[in-house]
Chain A
Amino acid sequence: MSDITKQTLTELVENIKNKKLSSTDVTKAFIDRSEKSEKLNAYITNDFTSALDKAKKFDQNPNFDLKLPGIPVAVKDLFCTKNIKTTAGSKILNNFVPTYESTVTENIWNEGAILLGKLNCDEFAMGSSNETSFFGNVQSPIDENLVPGGSSGGSASALAAQLTPVTIGTDTGGSIRQPASFTGIVGLKPTYGSCSRYGIVAFASSLDQAGPMAKNVNDCALLHEVISSYDPKDSTSIDFKRSHYSKELTNNIKGKKIGIPKEYRVDGMPKEIEDLWQKGIQYINDCGAEIINISLPNTSYALPTYYIVAPAEASSNLARYDGVKYGFRAKGENLIDMYEKTRSEGFGAEVQRRIMIGTYVLSSGYYDAYYLKAQKVRRLIKNDFDEAYKKVDAILTPSTPSSAFKIGEKTNDPVSMYLNDIFTVPVNLAGLPGISIPAGHDSKGYPLGLQIIGKAFDEQNILNIAYAMEEKINFKNKITDWWIK
C-alpha cells in the first residue's frame, strides 16, 4: 500500500484492527517518508530504529482494544520523553535526556501508539514561525521557503507532509491553531486544565495547554480523547467529566447559536480573510445553526495583555536553566559569570527578549503598572466571553489575520510577528477551548483557517461544529511533495 501515509488516523486504526495493515507496515511507511523529507527539517530527534522494534513487538502480540493500536506518532519536542532527548528547540537543553515521560505522551503510548521522534518547534515555544528554533527553520510542505507557523511548526509541517498520521502540539497564544491554519490541518487548543502540563517544558504556566493536531476533525476528536485526562501531578489539572469525543461526534448542529464578534475585524486585514469568514458564516447557516452578532469589547487589549503575562511567567519559568543542574553550561570565572555566559549563549534572541520583558514587568515599581494591570484586563477579557456565552454556544472567527508568510519576512519585526496571534491569544487568556479548521485558500493557494471558540470544557460542542463545517467546506490540502526529489 503506497498511500499509507495519506490515510487518516481513523483509517489506519481501522486497517490495523482489520489486519489489512500491520503496525510495521504503517511505521515503515511513515519512517520512509520522513527520511525522504529531511529538507523540511521537521524533526529534531528521530527514534526510527526503536519505533520499528516497537511496531514489530506490537505485531507479535497485538492489542486491538487500544485506541491507537501500533500507530506511530511524532510529537513536539516540548514534551519530555523518557530516555529520548528533549530540547524545547533550545541550545540550553541540547543535551538533555529526561528520565521521565510527560502525562500527555504517556497517555498516547498507553493507548498503543509508538514514538517516531521529536518535532521541531520555536525555542521554548516562543515564536509564530518556527524561526527561533536552535535547530533551524522548518519548511512548510505547502510551498518552499514558507513558514509552517509556530510554535508547533515542526508538528504542523510533519502532519501536513504526511510524516506522522497525527501529532500533538502545545498552545500558549496560538501555537497549535496558527500553524494548523498555515498548513491546512485541524488543531485544537483544549480548555485550560483539560490536558496535564506535567512533563511539558513550561513557557507560560497559566496559558500553556497541549492539544491534538490532525488531518480531520474525527482524528482530532479521537486524539483529544486519548490525551485529555485529570492528573493529580498538575495542580491546575481539572477533574471534570470528559466525553468520548470521537464517539459522540455529530454533524447535527441545528439550532446551535454561533456568535460573530465584531471586534475581530481588524485594520489591514486582507479581504480574503473577511471573505473566508463570510463563507464560514454561510456554512454555519447551511448546517442549520443560527448566527448572532456579538461584541467582545476588550479584544484589542488581548495582545498587549498577553505580551505582559506570558513573558512574566516565562522569565520565572526559564530561571531554572542556569547551567548548574542539567543542560548547557558555559565556563565562567565565578557563579555569576557562569550564569551570564550560559544564559547568553544558551538562549536565542527571542527568548532573551521575552525574559527581559518579563523581568521588567515584574520589577518593583513596574509591577502594578504592567503585570497587575494585565491581570485585571485578563479578567475583563474573560468576562467578555462569559457575557457572550449567555447568548451563544460558540464563536466563529478567522484563525489568523493572514495566510503563511515567507521565511525571514518578519524576523526583524517582532511586533508584526506578534500580531499573528491576535485572534488566538484571547482564547488562551480566557482559558477556553478553540479549534482551527482549514476553510479555504488565499490567492497564492495557501491554506486559511477558521477558529471556533467554545465554552470552558465544551470541546465536544466545538468539535461537532467543526465536524459539520468540515463536511460543507470539503477542503483539499494542496501538497505537491516539492521537497522530495
Chain B
Amino acid sequence: MSKKDSEYLINRKDNQYEVVIGLEVHAQILSDSKLFSTSATKFGAEPNTQVSLVDAAFPGMLPVINEFCVKQAIKTGIGLNAKINKRSVFDRKNYFYADLPQGYQISQFKDPIVGEGKVILDMPNGRKEIGIERLHLEQDAGKSIHDLDPQNTFVDLNRSGVALMEIVSKPDLRSPDEVNAYIKKLRSIMRYLGTCDGNMQEGSLRADVNVSVRSKGSKEFGTRCEIKNVNSIKFMQMAIEYEANRQVDLIEEGKTIDQETRLFDTKKNETRSMRSKEDAHDYRYFPDPDLLPLVVSEKFIEELKNDIPELPDDKKKRFIEEFKLSPYESNILVSDIDTAKYFEEVVAKMGKNKDIKLAVNWITGELFAVLNSKGLEISQSPVSAKNFAILINLIKNGTISGKIAKTVFELMIDGDNDPQKIVEEKGLKQQSDPKALEALIDKIINDNRQKAIEYKQGKEKLFGFFVGQAMKASGGKANPQLINEILKKKL
C-alpha cells in the first residue's frame, strides 16, 4: 500500500477533503487516593462512600497535593518524551454544577506540569509522529445521576477530586485509524508506566475530540468543532467520521462551520450541537490561592527517570534485535504490557535450547484464541507462563508433535496442569522408534496393496492417505517426520 492509497480523504464531486484531528485525552491517574485529599478511588464503590470533607467542599477545607499523583504525571510526561516543567501552577476553573462541590475545578491552565512531547505510531504505511502539546493535572468532578428519579437528580461524589491527567495532542491526527492507533499507544505507554489503567469502560480514559476539515493540500486549518467526552475508540472513530462528513457537506453547500461544542449520540450515530462559541463558559481561571506553585527539583525528576521501565518502543526494538522477531510480531507482543510480560517469562522459562518463533506462534495463535473465547486478559491466563514454556519445549525437543501439543494444551487449560504430566499420564509421548514404526507401516501397506500400487503408478495424492493411516494406527502419536521418511522408503 503506498502512502497515497492509505490517505483518509473525504471525496465530493470535484473536491477532496483532509480531516484534521486533535485529542484532549483525560486519563485517570492510577493512585489509591485523590489529587488533593486522602479519599479512596476504588471503582464501583457504593455512591458517596469515598468522599472526604475536602472532596465535598465543606467550609474551611483546604486542598493538599498528593505527591504520588505528581510523580505519576511526571512519569507519564517522561514516557511521552516531553519537557517536564519544574514550576507549574494550579488554577481554579470556575463554573456551577451540582456535581462540582467547590464551584470550581482545580486544574492547570497557563503553567502545566508537562510541556511538549511526542508519540510514535506504527501505521501500516510507516511510522508517524504525533506531537503532544501539554499534559496537566486536574481534579475530576462528581457524577450526576438523572435517571433514578423522575423529579430529582442524584449526585455521587466518589469521583469528585480524583486525579486526572489531561493530555492534549497537537492537531497532527488525520484519520480515525490514526486516532485508534494513538489512543492505543497512549494507553500502552501509561500501562507500562503504571500511571493509568486505561480502562475505558470504567471511564479511566476518555477524550474530547477536536475535528476540522480542509481541502486536500491546504495549509490552513478549518474551523473546528469539539466533540465532548467520548469514551470508546469505536465511538471516537464513528464521531469523527460523522462530524467530518457533516462539515464537508456544509462547505459543499457553501455554508460556514460554527465553532462549537458538540455531543456524540451513540444510538443515532451523529453529533449534535451542545453549545456555541458565544455560549461558551467564561471559566474565570486564576491561580488557586490555597495552593502554592508546584516546584519540583532536577533531582526529583532524575529519580523518576531512573524509575521508568522499558517502554513499548524500546522493547519492540529489543525483541527484533534479540529474538529476531519481525516488527509485526514484536508489535503484537509489546503493545500490551501483560502480553510482553508473559512472553518474556515464557522465554526465560524455556531455558537454553529454546524456539522463540514457536513460542510466539503459540502465544499469538492458541493462547490468544483461548483467551478470546473465554473473554480473559492475558494476566488472567489459565495457563501459566511456566507451563506454557514447558509445552513449547516438549514440541521443540520432539517429545510431542504439534498436533498432540494442541490436545495437551486443551488439557492444560483446566487448572494450569503440567504438560509433562499430561503427556506421561495420557501416554501421548511421540512414537519415534523407527523399528516399531516400520512394522506399523509394513502392516498398513499390506492391508492396502491396491492403493500402494496406484501410488507407485503415479497417484501421488495417495501419500497423504498412508500418512493418515499411520497416524491413526499410532493414535496420533507417531513422529510425523519419521513416518514420512519410512513411507517414502517403503512405497
Contact of B60 among A201, A204, A236 (CB under 8 A): A201
CA distance A88 to B65 in the complex (A): 27
CB interface residues, A 357-396, toward B, < 8 Å:
359, 362-364, 367, 371
CA distance A199 to B284 in the complex (A): 25
Residues of A within 8 A of B282 (CB): 363-364
Say if the beta carbon of A198 comes within 8 Å of chain B: yes
Contact of A319 among B60, B61, B98, B102 (CB under 8 A): B102
Known: A235-B291, A324-B155. A319 touches B103 (CB 8 A): yes
Residues of B within 8 A of A236 (CB): 289-292
CB interface residues, B 96-135, toward A, < 8 Å:
96, 98, 101-104
Asked if residues A363 and B284 are in contact (CB atoms below 8 Å), the reply is: yes
CB interface residues, B 144-159, toward A, < 8 Å:
153, 155
Known: A197-B62, A201-B60. A362 touches B286 (CB 8 A): yes
Name B57's closest neighbour in chain A (CB-CB): A320
Say if the beta carbon of A316 comes within 8 Å of chain B: yes
Name A359's closest neighbour in chain B (CB-CB): B284
CA distance A314 to B1 in the complex (A): 61
Contact of A325 among B56, B94, B291 (CB under 8 A): B56
Name A234's closest neighbour in chain B (CB-CB): B62
- Chain B nearest CB from A109 CB (Å) reads 16
Name A318's closest neighbour in chain B (CB-CB): B103
Asked if residues A100 and B96 are in contact (CB atoms below 8 Å), the reply is: no
Say if the beta carbon of A312 comes within 8 Å of chain B: yes
Contact of B101 among A313, A315, A325 (CB under 8 A): A325
Contact of B64 among A199, A205, A233 (CB under 8 A): A233
Asked if residues A316 and B104 are in contact (CB atoms below 8 Å), the reply is: yes
CB interface residues, B 55-86, toward A, < 8 Å:
56-65
Residues of B within 8 A of A202 (CB): 59-60, 290
CA distance A236 to B284 in the complex (A): 22
CA distance A234 to B54 in the complex (A): 12
Asked if residues A204 and B59 are in contact (CB atoms below 8 Å), the reply is: no
Give the interface residue-count category, chain B. 20 to 34
Known: A96-B59, A235-B64, A235-B65. A324 touches B290 (CB 8 A): no
Known: A235-B291, A236-B292. A320 touches B59 (CB 8 A): yes
Contact of A312 among B58, B153, B155, B286 (CB under 8 A): B286
Residues of A within 8 A of B289 (CB): 204-206, 236, 313
Asked if residues B153 and A335 are in contact (CB atoms below 8 Å), the reply is: yes
Asked if residues A98 and B59 are in contact (CB atoms below 8 Å), the reply is: yes
Summarize B's interface: helix, strand, loop or mixed. Answer: loop
- Chain B nearest CB from A96 CB (Å) reads 7
Say if the beta carbon of A80 comes within 8 Å of chain B: yes
Say if the beta carbon of A102 comes within 8 Å of chain B: yes
Residues of B within 8 A of A232 (CB): 64
Give the interface residue-count category, chain A. 35 or more
Q: Mark B275-296, 1 if CB is under 8 A from A, else 0.
A: 0000000101110011110000
Say if the beta carbon of B92 comes within 8 Å of chain A: yes
Q: Mark B389-406, 1 if CB is under 8 A from A, else 0.
A: 000000000000000000
Q: Mark B31-75, 1 if CB is under 8 A from A, else 0.
A: 000000000000000000000010011111111110000000000
Name A320's closest neighbour in chain B (CB-CB): B57
Say if the beta carbon of A399 comes within 8 Å of chain B: no
Residues of B within 8 A of A98 (CB): 58-60
CA distance A70 to B114 in the complex (A): 53
Name B90's closest neighbour in chain A (CB-CB): A235
- Chain B nearest CB from A428 CB (Å) reads 12
Residues of A within 8 A of B94 (CB): 315-316, 319, 362
Asked if residues B291 and A316 are in contact (CB atoms below 8 Å), the reply is: no
Say if the beta carbon of A18 comes within 8 Å of chain B: no
Say if the beta carbon of A161 comes within 8 Å of chain B: no
Contact of B59 among A86, A324, A371 (CB under 8 A): A86
Residues of A within 8 A of B92 (CB): 316
Residues of B within 8 A of A322 (CB): 96, 98, 103
Q: Mark A86-105, 1 if CB is under 8 A from B, else 0.
A: 10100001001011101000
Q: Mark A290-323, 1 if CB is under 8 A from B, else 0.
A: 0000000000000000000000110110111010
CA distance A326 to B61 in the complex (A): 14
CB interface residues, A 190-237, toward B, < 8 Å:
197-202, 204-206, 232-236
Asked if residues B96 and A88 are in contact (CB atoms below 8 Å), the reply is: no
Summarize A's interface: helix, strand, loop or mixed. Answer: loop
CA distance A313 to B92 in the complex (A): 10
Residues of A within 8 A of B56 (CB): 325
Say if the beta carbon of A339 comes within 8 Å of chain B: yes
Asked if residues B292 and A319 are in contact (CB atoms below 8 Å), the reply is: no
Asked if residues A335 and B98 are in contact (CB atoms below 8 Å), the reply is: yes
Which of B62, B101, B102, B285 gathers most chain A CB within 10 Å?
B62
- Chain B nearest CB from A139 CB (Å) reads 27
Known: A206-B289, A335-B153, A362-B94. A198 touches B59 (CB 8 A): no
- Chain B nearest CB from A208 CB (Å) reads 9
- Chain A nearest CB from B263 CB (Å) reads 19
Asked if residues A324 and B101 are in contact (CB atoms below 8 Å), the reply is: yes
Known: A316-B286, A322-B103, A324-B101. A201 touches B62 (CB 8 A): no
CA distance A318 to B63 in the complex (A): 16
Residues of A within 8 A of B155 (CB): 324
CA distance A198 to B104 in the complex (A): 19
Asked if residues A320 and B153 are in contact (CB atoms below 8 Å), the reply is: no
CA distance A160 to B104 in the complex (A): 40
Residues of B within 8 A of A198 (CB): 60-62
- Chain B nearest CB from A197 CB (Å) reads 6
CA distance A459 to B285 in the complex (A): 35
CA distance A313 to B103 in the complex (A): 12
Contact of A324 among B62, B63, B98 (CB under 8 A): B98
CA distance A206 to B92 in the complex (A): 14
Asked if residues A326 and B58 are in contact (CB atoms below 8 Å), the reply is: yes
Residues of A within 8 A of B65 (CB): 235
Which of A236, A313, A320 gathers most chain B CB within 10 Å?
A320
- Chain B nearest CB from A125 CB (Å) reads 12
Asked if residues B60 and A197 are in contact (CB atoms below 8 Å), the reply is: yes
Asked if residues A235 and B62 are in contact (CB atoms below 8 Å), the reply is: yes
CA distance A197 to B289 in the complex (A): 12
Known: A235-B62, A325-B56. A371 touches B286 (CB 8 A): yes
CB interface residues, B 255-277, toward A, < 8 Å:
none
Asked if residues B60 and A199 are in contact (CB atoms below 8 Å), the reply is: yes
Known: A88-B59, A204-B289. A99 touches B64 (CB 8 A): no
Which of A206, A319, A359, A362 gathers most chain B CB within 10 Å?
A319
CB interface residues, B 354-379, toward A, < 8 Å:
none
Residues of B within 8 A of A318 (CB): 103
CA distance A320 to B99 in the complex (A): 11
Residues of A within 8 A of B59 (CB): 80, 86, 88, 93, 96, 98, 201-202, 320
CA distance A324 to B98 in the complex (A): 7
- Chain A nearest CB from B48 CB (Å) reads 11
Name B281's closest neighbour in chain A (CB-CB): A364
Extra 17 A-B pairs, beta carbons < 8 Å, given A236-B290, A316-B284, A322-B96: A93-B59, A98-B58, A102-B60, A197-B60, A201-B59, A201-B60, A205-B289, A205-B290, A206-B289, A236-B289, A312-B286, A316-B92, A316-B104, A318-B103, A324-B155, A335-B98, A336-B96
- Which B residues lie at the A interface, using CB under 8 A? 53, 56-65, 92, 94, 96, 98, 101-104, 153, 155, 282, 284-286, 289-292
Q: List 22 A-B contacts (CB under 8 A).
A: A197-B60, A197-B62, A198-B62, A202-B290, A235-B62, A235-B291, A236-B292, A315-B94, A316-B92, A316-B284, A319-B102, A320-B103, A324-B98, A335-B153, A336-B96, A362-B284, A362-B285, A362-B286, A363-B282, A363-B284, A364-B282, A364-B284
- Which A residues lie at the B interface, using CB under 8 A? 80, 86, 88, 93, 96, 98-100, 102, 197-202, 204-206, 232-236, 312-313, 315-316, 318-320, 322, 324-326, 335-336, 339, 359, 362-364, 367, 371
- Can you list the 9 inter-chain pairs with the closest CB atoms, starting with the nearest? A319-B103, A205-B289, A206-B289, A362-B284, A199-B60, A320-B57, A201-B59, A80-B60, A200-B60
